[in-house]
């Protein structure tokens, strides 16, 4: 492809300025698993745990087998790693495996200790003032109480001996999602924070944010999760949104100042060469958008046995490494897994995640740039505020120019050519927009709710057109918005609905300026609240995902059993009740 004419681009200038702004404030990021002897020890432990994982599958069999369990095991007090390495090869029976694990390892999750949040109150003052229904309020207080069950602290032994844990040390209290997810996760934390703010747990919410800031300081970006095996990738970037929500609730300017250098550093990560793509539109203008791209081409340690089995269908080492890279990059998206990332929706080996320019990722980065502009104004960094204001406008223009489809009235992921022939700037082609329907096609609506004083992302008329496109998309179901319209067996496809997607879309519609759109947002939220309630009443738990075809049904599919707890589901439920209330005479259960 011949080099296209180049234009003066904002982003390279921005990157240079941002690097200069942050260079004096930031220490170099640590290596992926830490530095020095501790780093070597952590890598050696992870290698051992992967051998244990493979051995456990061989000995115990695939039924109810969760590979993540084994890489979450800390070494037992007094246990010697080298002795465990020598012993694991001799394990051949279930009894021997059980004895081996009992001798050398502590229970998964035991390096997190329970920590009652000091700012928890059974019924906080001012809690959900718009919820008039006694039944809805009683249930909301039960969900609110789940924060105590999910609150933890990282045990001091993790910082003292990081070579004996895959868990990473964190300075403050944490709130875990629940069940097999025994550590902090990045994008989950945004909705956990939203829920904690409804629960008036401002100190706990601040701890969560500062933990993520700490990860940026240590690694140069927020990790997918706080484990040594997650240091190769991030997740959808919502740290700036957490800071903004907390600042809006508390006026804590000190938090803004504390987080600001890390937000600059995280932005640099997401617009770096690793993630940035240049695309020239039909008018000769060059735009910059970002993609997911993990720094990894091996099996994910937490799912190594699954990845290795999938890659066994491929013949060459190079093909397997490419697949592992695409798998890890899909995990960075948070949508692991979905037909959204596959060239053949029935074949996971056709993942092409790094060749997809995602609508939602660029929405989140546009929001990040708006947020940083606001923070820079607050702390008197006016030049930086202008840089990021212009950056957000440039990304807004890129999203509208390259991802918007006026025929469908949706934003569509853009697929880059996978033949590898193009270097430098890609030439935009309409046929490269992915016309398949996913909930992510509507995520830019969310920017309606967060214009940060920089003007609306969408006008009211366009929001209404997008709403009508959503209404006829096939995504809107009896119990909420489905993730896609294709039932592939993947958990980020039909018929599963996920709390974050309900909230992002509904909050955008709610703030579009249209009465019709607001009523539709309330309808989406009502369907979601009712299915959460019905499932809670029948199971006694909040669920990670729900089947939106039927009210009260939890979700399924994917590479692990459905999980309960559950951080972001709790947060979205509380946020919906805070935003929309629940009247005295409104039925909380499934409609008959």
Please give the positions annotated as active site. Answer: 336, 544
Furthest-apart CA pair in the chain: how many Å?
Answer: 69
Comparing CA positions, the residue from 358, 334, 362 lying closest to residue 413 is 358
The kind and range of the H/E element at 469 are helix 460-471
Mark out the alpha helices in 61-133 (DSSP H runs). 67-71, 81-88, 94-104
Question: What length does the chain have?
Answer: 592
C-alpha 555/C-alpha 545 separation (Å) is 5
**Residue 338 · residue 492 · CB < 8 Å:** yes
Torsions phi, psi for 22 (to 5 deg): -95, -15
Taken in order 246, 248, 250, 252, the sign of the CA dihedral is positive
For helices 186-198 and 567-580, the axis angle rounded to 10 degrees is 40
Mapped onto helix, strand or coil, the DSSP state of residue 304 is helix
- Mind giving me the DSSP string for 213-268? HHHHHHHSS--SBSBGGGTT---S--HHHHHHHHHHHH--HHHHHHHHHHHHHHHH
C-alpha 320/C-alpha 342 separation (Å) is 16
Residues ≥6 apart with Cβ < 8 Å to 583: 132, 133
Comparing CA positions, the residue from 384, 509, 383, 518 lying closest to residue 457 is 509
- Mind giving me the DSSP string for 496-548? EE-HHHHHHHHHHHHTSS-HHHHHHHHHHHHHHHHHHHHHHHHHSS-BS-EET
Comparing CA positions, the residue from 402, 462, 412 lying closest to residue 437 is 412
Q: CB burial class (10 A; 0-12, 13-18, 19+) of residue 324?
A: buried
CA atoms within 13 A on the CB side of 239: 33
C-alpha 11/C-alpha 442 separation (Å) is 25
**Residue 366 · residue 396 · CB < 8 Å:** yes
- Mind giving me the DSSP string for 139-186? HHHHHHHHHHHHEEEE-HHHHH-GGG-SBPP-SS-EE--BTTB-S-BH
**Residue 395 · residue 288 · CB < 8 Å:** yes
C-alpha 162/C-alpha 449 separation (Å) is 41
């Amino acid at each position: 492809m011949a080099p296209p004419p180049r234009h003066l681009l904002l982003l390279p200038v921005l990157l240079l300025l941002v690097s200069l702004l942050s260079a004096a404030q930031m220490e170099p990021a640590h290596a992926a698993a830490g530095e020095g002897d501790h780093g070597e020890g952590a890598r050696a432990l992870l290698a051992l745990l992967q051998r244990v994982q493979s051995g456990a599958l061989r000995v115990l069999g695939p039924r109810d087998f969760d590979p993540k369990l084994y890489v979450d095991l800390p070494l037992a007090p007094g246990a010697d790693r080298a002795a465990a390495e020598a012993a694991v090869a001799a394990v051949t029976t279930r009894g021997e495996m059980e004895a081996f694990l009992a001798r050398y390892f502590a229970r998964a999750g035991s390096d997190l200790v329970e920590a009652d949040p000091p700012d928890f109150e059974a019924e906080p003052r001012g809690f959900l003032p718009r919820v008039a229904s006694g039944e809805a309020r009683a249930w909301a207080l039960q969900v609110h109480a789940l924060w105590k069950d999910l609150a933890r602290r990282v045990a001091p032994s993790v910082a003292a001996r990081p070579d004996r844990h895959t868990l990473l040390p964190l300075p403050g209290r944490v709130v875990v999602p629940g069940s097999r997810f025994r550590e902090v996760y990045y994008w989950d934390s945004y909705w956990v924070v939203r829920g904690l703010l409804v629960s008036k747990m401002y100190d706990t919410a601040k701890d969560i944010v500062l933990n993520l800031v700490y990860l940026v300081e240590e690694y140069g970006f927020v990790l997918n999760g706080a484990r040594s095996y997650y240091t190769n990738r991030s997740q959808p970037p919502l740290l700036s949104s957490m800071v903004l929500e907390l600042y809006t609730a508390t006026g804590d300017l000190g938090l803004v100042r504390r987080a600001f250098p890390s937000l600059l550093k995280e932005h640099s990560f997401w617009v770096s060469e690793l993630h940035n793509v240049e695309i020239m539109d039909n008018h000769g203008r060059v735009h910059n958008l970002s993609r997911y791209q993990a720094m990894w081409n091996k099996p994910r340690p937490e799912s190594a046995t699954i990845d290795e089995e999938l890659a066994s269908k491929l013949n060459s080492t190079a093909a397997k490494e490419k697949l592992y890279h695409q798998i890890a990059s899909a995990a960075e998206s948070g949508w692991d897994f979905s037909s959204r990332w596959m060239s053949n929706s029935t074949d996971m080996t056709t993942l092409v995640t790094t060749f997809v320019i995602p609508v939602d990722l660029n929405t989140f980065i546009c929001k990040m740039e708006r947020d940083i502009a606001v923070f820079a104004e607050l702390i008197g960094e006016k030049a930086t505020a202008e840089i990021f204001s212009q950056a957000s406008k440039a990304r807004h223009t890129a999203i509208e120019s390259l991802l918007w489809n006026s025929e469908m009235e949706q934003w569509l992921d853009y697929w880059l050519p996978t033949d590898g022939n193009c270097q430098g700037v890609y030439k935009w082609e309409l046929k490269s927009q992915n016309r398949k329907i996913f909930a992510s096609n509507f995520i830019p609506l969310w920017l309606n709710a967060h214009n940060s004083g920089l003007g609306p992302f969408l006008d009211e008329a366009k929001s209404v057109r997008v709403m009508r496109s959503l209404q006829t998309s096939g995504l809107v179901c009896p119990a909420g918005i489905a993730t896609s319209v294709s039932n592939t067996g993947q958990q980020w496809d039909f018929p599963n609905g996920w709390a974050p997607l309900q909230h992002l879309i509904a909050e955008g519609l709610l703030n579009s300026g249209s009465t019709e759109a607001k009523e539709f947002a309330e309808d989406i939220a009502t369907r979601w609240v009712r299915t959460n309630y019905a499932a809670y009443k029948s199971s006694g738990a909040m669920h990670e995902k729900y089947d939106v075809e039927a009210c009260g049904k939890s979700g399924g599919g994917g590479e692990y059993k459905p999980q309960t707890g559950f951080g972001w589901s709790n947060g979205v439920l509380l946020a919906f009740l805070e935003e929309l209330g629940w009247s005295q005479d409104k039925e909380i259960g499934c409609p008959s």
